[in-house]
């Protein structure tokens, strides 16, 4: 029993638990073989065999899929999509079935103050138009991840708005009679 180990027992190297990424050491979720097959670059597709694959979700870890049973590790370079959770630069893909990116949510929030992307995805899912199992590297529905991103970006916007409010008076005090928009109005 792993939780009750005593007498200085150590884990044999070969005995690394199946669900832990051997690179970042974080527990990963199981992923279906069909997902691995579809997401891998074509040159790696025939390497997919009958084994238990896991999907590493650690943002800073390069590993995407692994099997500790076979020792196979597939990295970001081995897959045909950009794995959104592992990217910080645009485009950061958040929905693979309908091609939404983080920037699209951000643009919605800037121009409209809200986004209908989660509703759109929900409607499409209900209509049976999504194919997360073969398009999303996680093999799971993106909606949870999309909602998280929307919440995070909304917070980011609120933070910005608060910043703008405190900035305004200072700007008005400048009373610069230049072409600087926000100050030109104050005589």
Strand partners, 20: 27
DSSP state of 93: E
CB atoms within 10 A of CB 7: 4
142 makes contact with Zn ion (CB under 5 A):
no
Check binding of 63 to Zn ion (CB under 5 A). Answer: yes
Are the CB atoms for 53 and 36 separated by under 8 Å?
yes
Among 36, 39, 48, 61, interactor with Zn ion by CB under 5 A: 61
Q: Shortest distance, CB of residue 57 to Zn ion, whole angstroms?
A: 8
Q: Is 21 in the site for Zn ion (CB under 5 A)?
A: yes
Nearest distance in Å: CB 26, Zn ion: 6
Which CB, 63 or 142, lies closer to Zn ion? 63
Q: Which of 143, 147, 149 lies closest to 103 in space, CA to CA?
A: 149
Number of residues that bind Zn ion (CB under 5 A): 7
Given candidates 32, 51, 58, 122, which one binds Zn ion under the rule CB under 5 A? 58
Q: How far apart are the first and last CA of the chain?
A: 77
Does a cis peptide bond (omega within 30 degrees of 0) precede residue 91?
Answer: yes
The closest alpha carbon to 46, from 60, 31, 36, belongs to 36
24 sits near Zn ion (criterion: CB under 5 A): yes
**C-beta of 75: minimal distance to Zn ion in Å?**
10
Q: How far is the CB of 48 from Zn ion (least distance, A)?
A: 19
- Does 121 bind Zn ion (CB under 5 A)? Our answer is no
Identify the CA nearest to 141 among candidates 155, 126, 157, 154: 126
Question: Of 20-28, 86-94, 100-108, 119-127, which part binds Zn ion (CB under 5 A)?
Answer: 20-28
Interface ranges with Zn ion (CB under 5 A): 21, 23-24, 56, 58, 61, 63
């Amino acid at each position: 029993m792993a939780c009750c180990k005593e007498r200085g027992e150590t884990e044999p190297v070969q005995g690394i638990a199946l669900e832990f990424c051997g690179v970042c050491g974080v527990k990963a979720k199981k992923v279906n073989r069909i997902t691995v097959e579809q997401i891998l670059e074509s040159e790696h597709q025939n390497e997919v065999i009958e084994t238990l694959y896991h999907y590493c979700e650690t943002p800073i870890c390069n590993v995407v899929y692994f099997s500790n049973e076979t020792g196979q590790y597939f990295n970001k370079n081995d897959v045909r999509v950009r794995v959104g959770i592992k990217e910080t630069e645009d485009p950061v893909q958040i929905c693979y079935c309908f091609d939404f990116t983080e920037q699209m949510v951000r643009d919605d929030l800037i121009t409209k103050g809200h986004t209908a992307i989660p509703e759109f995805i929900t409607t499409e899912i209900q209509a049976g138009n999504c194919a997360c199992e073969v398009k999303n590297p996680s093999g799971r529905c993106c909606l949870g991840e999309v909602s998280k991103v929307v919440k995070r970006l909304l917070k980011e916007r609120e933070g910005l708005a608060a910043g703008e409010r405190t900035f305004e008076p200072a700007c008005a005090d400048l009373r610069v009679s230049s072409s600087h928009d926000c100050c030109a109005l104050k005589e």
